[in-house]
Each structure stands twice: as C-alpha cells, then as structure tokens.
Structure 1
Amino acid sequence: MQAENVEKVDVVVVGAGWSGLIAAKTYLDFVPDANLLIIDNQATLGGTWAQERLYPTLYAQTKLGLFEYSCYPMRDEGITADGYISCKTIHTYLCEFAEDFGLTRRARLRSSVTKVERLPAGNGWTLDVSGARPGTLQCDKLIWAAGAISEPNMPCYPQSAGFIAPIIHSGDTGKHLDAIEKTQSVTVVGGGKSAFDTVFLLLQAGKTVNWVIRDGGSGPLSMMPPTILGVFNSMEVVSTRFLQLFGASIMHTDGLGYQFIHKTRLGRALAGAWWKTVNHIAVWANGYNNSPNADKLRPVSRDNGIFWAASGLGAASVPDYWKVFHAGDCTVHRGEIDSLTEKNTVVLRGGERFQTDTIIMCTGFAASTRAFGDDLKPLCGLAANPPGSEQEKNWADLETQADSTVDELLPVLSRPPPGLDAQTLGSKSTSSEGPSRHYRRVISPYLAAQGDRSLFFLCLLHTVSTPLVVEMQSLWGVAFMLGLLDVPGLADMEREAALWNAWTRKRYPGIGRTHSYAVFDFQSYLDQLLGDLGVRTHRKGNILSDMFVPSRPRDYRGVADEFRAVLQVRHLRTEGKLLGAGSDGEAEPLVSADGNGHANGYAK
C-alpha cells in the first residue's frame, strides 16, 4: 500500500470494553491533544458487554459498587436483591462513560485488526484493519486492550451429513435468542461461567438441556453462593485483604500475617479450616448433595474446591439460580462428545447418545493476539522463542528456579489435591501454551529492554474486579509509555514474569496453566502497581477497615492525581520547580507530546 493511503494517528487503542475505554481516557488525561483512535470489532461499545452479546438473564458476578471505575459511579438500576448487576446496566454504564469523556467520537466500530507490524527501529506500529472501514493505520503508540476473552474456542467433532442442528458459541448467544426460543432440546458444552449462565437461560425458558462437561481436566467452575449464610456478599468477601491473607499470593510474601499463615503449622491449619468451611457452605448452598446429577457439578477438589478454583471461581449471581437448576430438566454428562450423527444425535465417548435441536459451545476464548505474527509474538511477550534457542534455554532455567521459589514461599501450593497435580493435568511449562511473558502483566520485557515504550497490553489477567484492575493497569501502562515510570533491567523483568507464571500455574492448577489468573489475589497485584507508581497502597482509614472492609473502586479515586503529586515532588527535587504548574499557578497538562509521542522533559 502506498504511503499516502496510510492513515497516521498518535495512538491506537484496540478494544472498546472495560480496558480499552479506561486506557483511552487515561492517556488523554495525560496528553489531551493526542490524536487517539479506538478500534473494536463489535457493532456497539462495551466489548464483552456490547449490546449484541447480551441476553436477559446475564448478570455480572460482582456486586454494585465493586464493578465500576473509581472516577465514574454506576447507577443503581437493574440490580438484584443480592446486589448483582444486569448486563443492560453495565452496557449503558460503559456507553455513558465513553460519551461523557469524549471517547465515542474516537471509536471506530465493526473493525478488526488483522495484522500488526513493528516499524523499523521501534518507531511505531502498522496495523491492517478490516471491516467497516478497511485500510492501514500507522501509530506511534499502541495499546492492545482486546482482552483475554476475544477469540472463541470452537472444538470440532466428526459430523455426518444428517446432523444439521446449528452450533453456536456462547459469545453469540445474544444474537441467536429468536432461534433458541424456537428450540426445545439444547446441548451445552463446557464447565465454565458461560456454561452456567447459558444453562440458566435455557432452563428458565423451559428447555430440555443436556450439559456436557469434560470428564478429566480441571472440571467444572467452582461456584460460590451469592451470599455466605445469607449475610455477606460472596464477592465482597473475596475483595477483602482478609481473604488475601488467607490465600496464597506470590505478591504477598512478607509481614507477620504471611509468616503465621504460611510458615507455621498452626497458621496453615487455621487457613485450611477456613477454606474448608467456605467450601462446605458452597456445597450446601448449591445443593450438590441433592442428587447424583447435581453432584457432577462439584469441583475436582471436592473438599476444597473454592480455595483451588482450578477452573476459575464464579458466583450464582442470577436470582434463584440453584432453585431453577434443581427444578429444571437438565441432565449433566461428565464426558466428551465423540461424534455428531444422523437425526441431530450427539454421541458421547462413553456411549451415551441423545438428540438435540441446537448446540451451544461454552468452550471459552483465547487471547486476541492472532494479528501478531509468529516472528513478532516472542518479542512482544506473547509466545515462547523457538525450541532449543538460547532464549528458551534461559527461560527453562528461570521457570525451574521459579517453581522452587513458589514451593518455598507458599508450601501449601506444593501439595495440590488428587486430580490437580501436574501428572493428571499434563505439564504446560512454556508460555507458548500458558500465560504470556509480560512484566507486571502489562509490558514486554524484551521491548522495554530495547528502550521501546510504544506498546502495552491490558486485560490479559483474569480477576473478579476487572474495572478497577484495568484502571490501575492503564495508569501504570500510560506512565511507562510516557517515560514517567522506570522499570528494572531485562533479567529482573524475566524473573518476575517467570515467577508469576510458575505461581499462577500452581495456585489455580487448571485455568492457571493457560491464563494469568488472580481471582483471590487482585488486591496484592494492585499493591504492586501502585507501589511502582509511588502512591498509597492501603486506601482505608484504619487497620481494621483495611483488613475486613471490601476494597472498592471508590477507594482509589484520585490515584492519578496522587501520581501527579509524586512526579511534582520528584521534579522539584531534581529541577527545583514544580511539574505542571503554570505561571499563574493554574495546573497545566502534566505532559505534552512531541512529534514522537514522548513526554517532554520528564522521562528519566
């Protein structure tokens, strides 16, 4: 393509969901005059919560007040009695946020990035775009916020010509509601949160459901009740530092609490008793003991499935979830589909067979990194280097050391329960099959070591507090991108990434082998990010509330201003004048961008 046909902008943000929108706002807060463009393949804003992906019984598994940006409270509309939030409320919230902060006009929807190339000498990026406005974009800065649940995983089965029932992915359920309404028997494949949500939608509509969950692997999702004993909201409890203390976070391995819980026999016994009690509450609330059918939904670690959360952690956020399940016409099959045969018959490997009108594949997503070529992925921290290369030999050594470090610091993780050990699940020790190799889950160590600050990633980390985590990631990433944040050398960044990957693989033995996951540990992750920025990590007014009151986005309101104050003090010490103060005393933009998009004068 000729140079005159290339559209040039300062910044491209790929993704218009929770992470892309806050990343765009954060960058514009620091560089207001930037020519910034948001690209998304959906027809509406919202990413996972775009209008076309919604259906009536879809709710977030997080309570009102926990699922919002710190700077923009969510309206109290479409909320269940337990405090959970409807999908329509979330979509409206994101659209209003984008409009109020001038992001809507910067969004180019129905557009997909099909190819990413790095310009010579790290001078920016070229993106091939298809869709509503195809062409080539060139940018100085690239923020990849397409997330970790963008590319549908669609298993293929042997299929005869006589099988004509539609097969759809759960990500497209909202687009097929009319067709689903006309069916009677539906097969749901998968044991993750989307499968639980889909089964509820179908049972509430009076459908007959055959639910197929692979026998083996990491098993069904670990499901918390909406409240613990009808008193404490489950996700509020998960959002406390108390849970972090009783957990096993590689980011929280110092202090008296850590020493007692993880380094003494009494502490380990108390923590184990706590988690088993929570697990028994979940078993009772979910009614796994009510029938052999319901028992098939137990996590692999039957007595401690909440702690290990091998397939992830969810909550029954829809009103009367378990009442509808136990009363509905649903048969749970623990096995795998062998073939799809005549007369729309599903045949399982164990010999079971049943007819179906539709199959909904709740088989998860892969990170949306296909646009990065195989030669670019290792440089960007998205994949392993070629086998046998010096880089890969070095990484193998790092992982071996990291495994030993995790076992030493967190002994509980060295003894997984039966069914969740490496021999059963299979060893996945390279990042070509597992979590990416990013420092702080945000930047490529290899680009950063070259002095290239033109790219960072968002939302490759799974947590229960997505809006808050991606908001802090955005601040950290923009600070790095503008040269306002130092990072360590390559060796230290590689060690950090290897340690994280070893830990998440041990802490969440199933999902942690393929994704960065921190459902009980996001608080200590936020502490890391804020510690790097030099701002307060403990946001409550006193020790007790800091330990037992849930961490809410509103606690982090003003963090960007606190970071500005840190920069002002730093600049005052080095230059003898305040950063960002105009001659009349009014605040000016913190940084302005030169022609290359660099922060003028303030990069270390």
Structure 2
Amino acid sequence: MPDPALPTEQLDVLIVGAGISGIDGAWHLQKRCPGKSYAILEGRERIGGTWDLFRYPGIRSDSDMYTLGFPFRPWTGKKSIADGADIRAYVEETAAEFGIDRRIRFRHRVTRAEWSSAEARWTVEAETPDGPRRYRARFLYLGSGYYDYENGYRPEWPDEKSFKGRFVHPQFWPEDLDHAGKRIVVIGSGATAVTLVPALAETAAHVTMLQRSPSWIVARPSEDGIARRLQRLLPARAAARTIRLKNVLLGMLFFQRSRKRPDKVRALLLKWVGEQLPDRDIADFVPAYNPWDQRVCLVPDGDLFRTMREGRVSVVTDTIDTFTKHGIRLASGAELEADIVVTATGLVVKVLGGIAISVDGVPVNPAEHISYKGMMLSDVPNLVLSFGYTNASWTLKCDLTARYFCRLVRHMDAQGLDICVPRLPAAGIERQPMLDFSSGYVQRAAASLPGQGTAPPWRVYQNYFKDFAALGLGTVTDGVMEFRKAG
C-alpha cells in the first residue's frame, strides 16, 4: 500500500522519460491542451534518453534527421545522418526553447504506478536523491523507450576469464578507454557494430568485426542533397514539410518493396555492396534472411566499406569456440588477436520502463494485454505508451501518438469524463506478436511484449500513413474506447 507520509504532487499528466518521446509529448500537451499541469520524471541526470546514454565512438542516427527530428522544430543541421552529440544538443535546445526543461525532475526513477478507478487517478512513486516521492495524475504518459538503460545484452563465452585484454559493452563505454594503436575485435554485425567499427579504425591498429551471421548493410550519403536544395528554394516551413514527406515516402516504399519483392531488393542491396567492395568476395554481406525481416543497417558515406578497402578493417563470419589469453579462437580453428573486445551484442528489452503497474490492485502483465492503436493497452485506463516505429524514424509514430492523446484529453474535458480504457470485444480477438521482426532483441523479449490483433484498432501498423489516418483523422469515439466518470 502507498505510504501516506510521502510528499505528494497533484498533476493532470505525468510524463516518464525526457528523451525524444517525452519532449515531443510535452510540446503537444502545452500547445494543444494549454493549462494542463504536467511534469516529466527522468531517471537520469540529463535530457536526451538514448542520445545521452550512448557515448561510444561514432554514435549517430540510423534514421534521417528530417524525420527523426521534431516536426514543430525542424532539423536544420548540415547532416541528414547526424552524430550523437548533435542530436543530444538538438533535443536539449528544443526543450529549452519551449520551456519544457523547467518541467523535468531529474534523477527521479519511477518504480511503481497504481491506478484507482474510484478516484480516476494514477498514484506514482519515484526514487529520488532526497528519498521516495509520490505523484498523483489523471494520465500516465510513458516515453521511457523499450530497452533497459542499466543492462545490455551480453552472452557468456567459454574461458572469458583467460583473456588478458579488456571487455567493453557499447552501452557503457568507458571515458578512459584509449584504443589508439590497439587490436580490436567487435562482436556483432548490427547497427551498433557497423557504427563503431569505422570510428575505431581511425586510430586503432586494426579492427575486426566478428559476426555469427551477416546483416543487411546499405551505404547512404550523410548529407541529403535534395533536402539542402529544397531548403534554399522554399520557405523554411514548406521545405521542412516537403523534405519530411519525401523521406517518409521513400522509406515506406523501400520497406514495402522489401516485403513484397524481397528477391529484387536482395539483388539490389548486394549490387550496392559489390560496388563498394570491387574485386572482393562479398559472402560476408549476404544474410540468410530477407531485407527488413530485421532492421537494415545504414553506413553513411560508406565509411565501413572505405575502411575495409584501406585495409584497416576486416569482417569475419564465424562462431566463438573459446577465449584465449591473447584473443579469440574460432570454431574454424582460426584465432583473432585482440587487446580490446567490444561486445556489440544487443539490447535488453524492458517493457513499460520496468515500472510495476497495477489497476485497482491487480498487477499489469503487458504480455496479457493487446496493443490499442500501438499506443495503449487493452483494459488499462488512462495510460499512453509512446512507442515508435521499428522500420522508420522513431519520432514519426511518437508524434502521432502525442497528437492523438491531446485529442483524447480535449474530448474527455468537453464531455466531463474522467476515464478512458480500450476494451476488447467480448468474443476476444485473434492474437499475433506485436513486432514482426526476427531481430535477436525482439525474439528474446517476445514472451514479455503485448500482442496485437489482426484488424484495427488492435493492429499495430508499421505504416505512417495508416497511422496518420487512424490517429490524426480517426474519431476517438470508435466504439472500442470506453469512457466514463470517476466511480
């Protein structure tokens, strides 16, 4: 039971997380629901979320900034594929410009959230440097992402302790690590690995990317020439909207083509790799799965391929047999010498930010619920999940979610309502996995994720235009959302 002695603050909306999702949600709330009281609880010491946590060499976006950026404050930087430090600064500047930073309570880690239908309020508890603190709010808006900030995925290998070098996980990159002149093995072939490898190669003696299996990798210019021309020719607002629409369309066309004609897209991607590595065997870049069964890795300006052509990077496809004193012995019998081993082996998914949530005393297990419009859970009142796309920029879906949430709040205010809760039909629905992705981090977390249905509003579309129609234009009184007053 809640401790009655804890200091308590009353709010209309409580936002969890001061990354892109939380800042976007706060801006829309200020703009579209003026007068609503809110606060943002951030467990860490700074704004930025992902872009503050990850500090490894070369950290950058793997989506273009014209869609990853906020539509209400368009990205104007030179690079379309931006560095992590520039993204972090952009998010911080956005929060400061609109006064959102004054609403953030740093080092407030939310541990528990309890809903009372009788009171139509969430009671939320957070650990702070000054001890536990309580908040009560009509709505709980989770912009806390989907992975564990305190733990990264890290397999165990035979005889690790015999290795005399240093292990490093990208999620916890040490500030004191000097990799100049060192032999480095990066284990992994996902977005983090292909970002790290060329950055480390700038000063390392040699870098080897050791992959169990290849990933799809595509080279793309770090600067968008069309976008830069449009910015010169059109007024700022018109240019931003045109560039955003262009990139959304191109991304969707590529994804849909990959799903409908994977053979054609496979051939095209392999042709591009061959152009980057002429006169070389590209077997290490031929995945067993189709494009967009997992996220396609982006290498701006082909930097990974450039460092391979220069002889500073090698890619090896093999599995680890054991660690040795000086490196790794592979299943093939080959040995990789290393001074540093970087385990770019993935994320740990953490649903609902790891918060213990209950409704009228009953614990909420996300795996037992169905996602409503990709932003709420069945039978959980007044709770919004700001969850972005896996096949496009995260912000695109988060921004639609924030807009819809504000429409929902305005409707409830106009009708004098207190509670909104998506209700499943009495006959139930056919359940499917929420994320149709074969990536390791998704498969490891499949049993803990909410499900989805086969038809709207229970279907989770990885499609911006379908979501725009449902969240931007569709009615909030859809016959599925149940509204009522407190008690």
After TM superposition, the score normalised by the length of structure 2 is: 0.75
**Cα deviation code 1:37-92 (max 9, x no counterpart):** 22223332111112x63356333233343331111122334x2xxx4222222111
Partner of 2:29: 27
Give the whole-Å Cα distance in 1 for the aligned partners of 2:249 and 2:32: 31
Q: Is the 8 A contact 2:308 2:314 kept in 1?
A: no
Give the whole-Å Cα distance in 2 for the aligned partners of 1:286 and 1:493: 54
**Cα deviation code 1:176-212 (max 9, x no counterpart):** 2541335612221222100111111111223422322
Partner of 1:222: 216
Give the whole-Å Cα distance in 2 for the aligned partners of 1:460 and 1:493: 29
Give the whole-Å Cα distance in 1 for the aligned partners of 2:49 and 2:5: 32
Give the whole-Å Cα distance in 2 for the aligned partners of 1:291 and 1:348: 22
Q: Is the 8 A contact 1:439 1:493 kept in 2?
A: no
Partner of 1:330: 313
Q: Is the 8 A contact 1:41 1:110 kept in 2?
A: yes
How far is the alpha carbon of 1:277 from its aligned partner?
A: 5.0
Q: Is the 8 A contact 1:149 1:366 kept in 2?
A: yes
How far is the alpha carbon of 1:339 from its aligned partner?
A: 4.2
**Aligned residues, how many?**
440
- Range with bigger deviation, 375-384 or 107-116: 375-384
Give the whole-Å Cα distance in 2 for the aligned partners of 1:90 and 1:525: 24
**Amino acid of the structure 2 residue aligned with 1:170:** P
How far is the alpha carbon of 1:291 from its aligned partner?
A: 3.5
Give the whole-Å Cα distance in 1 for the aligned partners of 2:158 and 2:358: 33
Q: Which of 465, 468, 471 in structure 2 is aligned with 1:530?
A: 468
Partner of 1:295: 283
Q: Is the 8 A contact 1:465 1:522 kept in 2?
A: no
Give the whole-Å Cα distance in 2 for the aligned partners of 1:122 and 1:298: 57
Q: Is the 8 A contact 2:201 2:307 kept in 1?
A: yes
Give the whole-Å Cα distance in 2 for the aligned partners of 1:128 and 1:134: 10
Give the whole-Å Cα distance in 2 for the aligned partners of 1:467 and 1:284: 33
Would the alpha carbon gap of residues 246 and 313 (structure 1) be closer, same or farther in structure 2, given more than 3 Å must change? Answer: closer
Aligned-pair identity in percent equals 18
How far is the alpha carbon of 1:300 from its aligned partner?
A: 1.8
Higher helix fraction (1 or 2):
1
Q: Which of 90, 94, 97 in structure 2 is aligned with 1:93?
A: 90
Show structure 1 runs of 5+ residues with no match.
250-260, 263-267, 385-435, 537-565, 571-598
Would the alpha carbon gap of residues 30 and 534 (structure 1) be closer, same or farther in structure 2, given more than 3 Å must change? Answer: closer
Higher strand fraction (1 or 2):
2
Partner of 1:466: 394
4+ runs deviating over 6 angstroms: 230-233, 235-238, 374-379, 485-488, 521-524
Would the alpha carbon gap of residues 172 and 328 (structure 1) be closer, same or farther in structure 2, given more than 3 Å must change? Answer: farther
After TM superposition, the score normalised by the length of structure 1 is: 0.62
Partner of 1:135: 132
Q: Is the 8 A contact 2:197 2:304 kept in 1?
A: no
Q: Is the 8 A contact 2:194 2:304 kept in 1?
A: no
Give the whole-Å Cα distance in 2 for the aligned partners of 1:105 and 1:121: 32
How far is the alpha carbon of 1:232 from its aligned partner?
A: 8.1
Please state whether the residue corresponding to 2:63 is helix, strand or coil. Answer: strand
Structure 1 segment 62-461 matched on structure 2, within 5 A: 62-77=63-78, 79=79, 83-119=80-116, 123-130=120-127, 132-140=129-137, 141-151=139-149, 152-159=152-159, 161-173=161-173, 176-181=174-179, 184-214=182-212, 219-226=213-220, 239-241=247-249, 244=252, 248=256, 271=261, 274-276=264-266, 278-287=268-277, 290-292=279-281, 295-301=283-289, 305=290, 308-317=291-300, 320-341=303-324, 343-369=325-351, 371-373=354-356, 380=364, 382-384=366-368, 437-447=370-380, 452-453=381-382, 455-459=383-387, 461=389
Show structure 2 runs of 5+ residues with no match.
228-242, 414-419, 450-458, 478-482
How far is the alpha carbon of 1:237 from its aligned partner?
A: 10
